[in-house]
Amino acid sequence: MYAIIDSRGRQYKVAVGKTVRFDRGPYEPGAVVSLDKVLAIVDGVNTICGTPYVTGARVLAQAVGNEKSKKVLVYKQRPRKVYRKMRGHRQPFTILKINDIRLEVDSGS
């Protein structure tokens, strides 16, 4: 069973027990996070797609920690000029461990 979720404009494929690297969020290590923007849930042969989100679905995760990725070097140079510039960037991210994928069905009145 896995789910496709939307988090801050990006889509992630998550499964129970897996760890996923998200863009840095306001999550402290050890905090329980509830992700409500579930786009689709796939359970074997059953697929539930949302329009745009699945109603009553959410993914429960626990924040493991905040880290930075490897450094990416950006080098600029103009031809035939004495212009060289090198900058580095390390993108911050949050590691979330997926604990549960829930689909709460509304019985209706």
Taking the C-alpha atoms of residue 45 and residue 43, their distance in angstroms, rounded to an integer, is 6
Domain that holds residue 55: 2-103
Surface-to-core class of residue 80, CB atoms within 10 Å of its CB (0-12 exposed, 13-18 middle, 19+ buried): exposed
pLDDT tens-digit readout, 31-83: 999 999 999 999 988 999 999 999 999 999 999 999 999 999 999 999 999 99
User: What is the structure's pLDDT at 108?
Assistant: 52
User: What is the structure's pLDDT at 55?
Assistant: 92
| Assigned domain for 56 exists | yes
| Assigned domain for 55 exists | yes
Taking the C-alpha atoms of residue 1 and residue 59, their distance in angstroms, rounded to an integer, is 12
| Assigned domain for 108 exists | no
| Assigned domain for 109 exists | no
Taking the C-alpha atoms of residue 48 and residue 54, their distance in angstroms, rounded to an integer, is 7
User: Considering the chain, what percentage of its residues have pLDDT values greater than 70?
Assistant: 96
User: What is the structure's pLDDT at 11?
Assistant: 95
Number of domains, the chain: 1
| Assigned domain for 82 exists | yes
User: 67, 109 in Cβ contact below 8 A?
Assistant: no
Asked if pLDDT for residue 107 goes beyond 90, the answer is: no
User: What is the structure's pLDDT at 5?
Assistant: 95
User: What is the structure's pLDDT at 106?
Assistant: 66
Asked if pLDDT for residue 109 goes beyond 90, the answer is: no
